[in-house]
Amino acid sequence: MKRNKAPFYAVLALTATLGLAACADDGQGDGGSDNGNGDGGESSGEAVEGGDLVLSTQSDIVGLDPHQVNDVPSGQVQGQVYEGLLEFDENMDLQNVLAEDYSWNDEGDVLTFQLKEGVTFHDGAAFNADAVKANIDRITDEDVGSQRAFLFEGISEINVLGDYEIEFVLEEPDVAFLFSFAHGGGFMISPDVIEADYAAMEDGEQPYTAVNDNPAGTGYFSYQSGTVGSSELVFERYDDHWSGEPAILDTVTFKTVPDASARLAELTTGDSHFITVDAAGLAQLEGIEDASLNVTDSISGSYFGFNTEVEPFDDVRVRQAIAMAVDKNVVIDNLLEGYGFPAETPVAPGVIGHDESAEALSYDVEAAQELLAEAGYEDGFSTSIMTNDSPARIQMAEYMQSALSDLNIELEVDVVEWATYLEDTGEGDHEMFILGWSSATGDADYALAPLYHTDNFGAAGNRAFYSNPELDAILDEAVAEVDEANRMDLYAQAQEIANEEVPLVFTHYTQYLHGIKDSVEGIIVTPTDDWVLNEAHFVE
């Protein structure tokens, strides 16, 4: 993402604001869930050391290489193996991990990290400043082609100042740069594995091959078995974790169980201990005596979008009409069983830059019909909407089939598996589509720029292939604005444009639903739907 980066924003003040904003009581709960069994934090029994925790999800992961892909299922698994210099906790407060400390120069264009000493990767390689440089050099290497390279663009120099000190010199100050090191794209991979990946590329292999075959980070769990695309991936406790407090479990197993009823059956039998649940499965979950529903408020939104490069979606009136024909309250009350909140903007509450005064287009079928007639589509048209095989998204698409029939729009639902879905929408092989977005850095820049900026067409996030020079300029200015009030005003302008132009229609802010065995405690689900498992354990 090309940026015209300008004055430095007070990062320390912004960090403090981030913690306050994410924790604010907005009537939607307290952020992350920290117990995993819905009992308010009280233990239901005596903790048991060891055991294999089985977690079942709906979609296959796309990659074990954190520089490769930008999807949530892959990130949930990668987070067990890798760590970054920084992280956000369940309250979205910034915490040191592999960094001991960090500081900015007075001008705000040089960020220096002091790193933890005595840390080793799972393969025995040393963690140090050279390892950090190897990682950031790789994610920004055009030959590697990382979907997450935009997180670290704008670096002019990386200087290793000592074994455990490194500085990043920016072309111009960048407000959001620090938070990139708390994103999954900032996970640290063993430099030996990175070297092996480059060697494989020289031998004609695709980038990421060596990392996917032999992932090695510094996390609480190390890779044991399974491959990308297989139904099971197993990770074992890394006893030499630098914290001196390794995970409690022996192993964690991630299973892909596409069918929602099959996941609930696994929870019933105990073949799985923690599963993703859709609203349609809540009644079945209630019938499982030794399991509970875990609900986590998020900073994520769900949306449907248009390929704005194809007719008729290159006409804003058509997009507006469809947006006005979808009743968000029906989506939440009927499809989600009330687990969600209507979205007025792409920037979720709790994210820096969220505009509380923003108003999305309201539900108004009559006005939608008038807009379509004005655009020359009074008799409607035929189109398709693509989704992955998530029951909730399929239900959403089927509801839209019915809703758009009021506009004489015939909508075909095209259901494809996850990896193909990401590839097709990333290449523009779609008309309409359904997805979600988590503001993983807790900042409006990440909530907006990947999805709306022209520089991020396709797999980088802008799957609507939407381009608006005015919005691009606002986003470029906002990311570097020195004055906090001015920065918030710029993001308010950006949200107004997004709501008016509607290349994406955000329907609701998400609540994550999981079914969990009562015999399991200590799982943390963060507001970005990352799963923290180092303190997870069984009880008896």
Is 124 within the bounds of a domain? yes
Is 64 within the bounds of a domain? no
Q: What is the model's pLDDT at position 12?
A: 31
pLDDT at 18 over 80: no
Is 73 within the bounds of a domain? no
Q: Do 393 and 487 sit in the same domain of this protein?
A: yes
pLDDT at 16 over 70: no
124 by Cβ neighbours in 10 Å (0-12 / 13-18 / 19+) ranks as: exposed
Retrieve residue 117's tokens.
């000493």
Q: Do 414 and 478 sit in the same domain of this protein?
A: yes
Percent of the chain residues past pLDDT 70, beyond the cut: 92
Give 10's contacts (C-beta < 8 A, 6+ positions apart). Answer: 484
Q: Do 392 and 423 sit in the same domain of this protein?
A: yes
Q: Residue 453, Cβ neighbours under 10 Å: how many?
A: 24
Give 62's contacts (C-beta < 8 A, 6+ positions apart). Answer: 68, 69, 71, 73, 74, 228, 418, 419, 422
CATH number of the structural domain spanning residue 228: 3.40.190.10
Give the domain extent around 172. 1-25+82-208
Q: What is the mean pLDDT of residues 186-192?
A: 98
Q: Do 323 and 394 sit in the same domain of this protein?
A: yes
**How is residue 167 annotated by DSSP?**
E
Q: Residue 524, Cβ neighbours under 10 Å: how many?
A: 19
Q: What is the model's pLDDT at position 96?
A: 98
Is 184 within the bounds of a domain? yes
Last residue of a domain, which of 175, 208, 241?
208
Question: Contact 187/134 with Cβ under 8 angstroms?
Answer: no
Question: Contact 54/196 with Cβ under 8 angstroms?
Answer: no
Question: Contact 319/416 with Cβ under 8 angstroms?
Answer: no
Of 450, 453, 428, the closest CA to residue 441 belongs to 450
Is 245 within the bounds of a domain? yes
- List the Cα angle 277/301/87 in 5-degree steps: 85
- What amino acid occupies position 91? N
pLDDT tens, position by position, 393-449: 999 999 999 999 999 999 999 999 999 999 999 999 999 999 999 888 888 999 999
Lowest mean pLDDT among 40-54, 214-228, 286-300: 40-54
pLDDT tens, position by position, 85-135: 999 887 778 899 999 999 999 888 999 999 999 999 999 999 999 999 999
Is 410 within the bounds of a domain? yes
pTM: 0.81
Last residue of a domain, which of 174, 208, 242?
208
pLDDT at 153 over 50: yes
Q: Do 448 and 490 sit in the same domain of this protein?
A: yes
pLDDT range class, residue 307, cuts 50, 70, 90 = very high
Helix 444-452 crosses helix 484-501 at what angle (to 10 degrees)? 40
Give 138's contacts (C-beta < 8 A, 6+ positions apart). Answer: 67, 144, 146, 189, 194, 197
CATH number of the structural domain spanning residue 491: 3.10.105.10
Specify which of 26-40, 168-182, 211-225 reaches the highest per-range mean pLDDT.
Answer: 211-225
Question: Contact 452/498 with Cβ under 8 angstroms?
Answer: yes
Alpha helices in 216-330 (DSSP H): 260-269, 282-286, 316-325, 328-330
Q: Do 486 and 447 sit in the same domain of this protein?
A: yes
How many angstroms separate the CA atoms of 269 and 525, rounded?
Answer: 23
Q: What is the mean pLDDT of residues 22-47?
A: 46
pLDDT tens, position by position, 330-359: 999 999 999 999 999 999 998 989 999 999
pLDDT at 369 over 50: yes
How many angstroms separate the CA atoms of 438 and 346, rounded?
Answer: 10
How many angstroms separate the CA atoms of 105 and 114, rounded?
Answer: 14
Q: What is the model's pLDDT at position 107?
A: 84
Chain mean position to CA 455? 19
Look over the chain and give the mean of its residue pLDDT values, rounded to a whole number. 90
Q: Do 415 and 529 sit in the same domain of this protein?
A: no
Is 65 within the bounds of a domain? no
Last residue of a domain, which of 162, 181, 208?
208
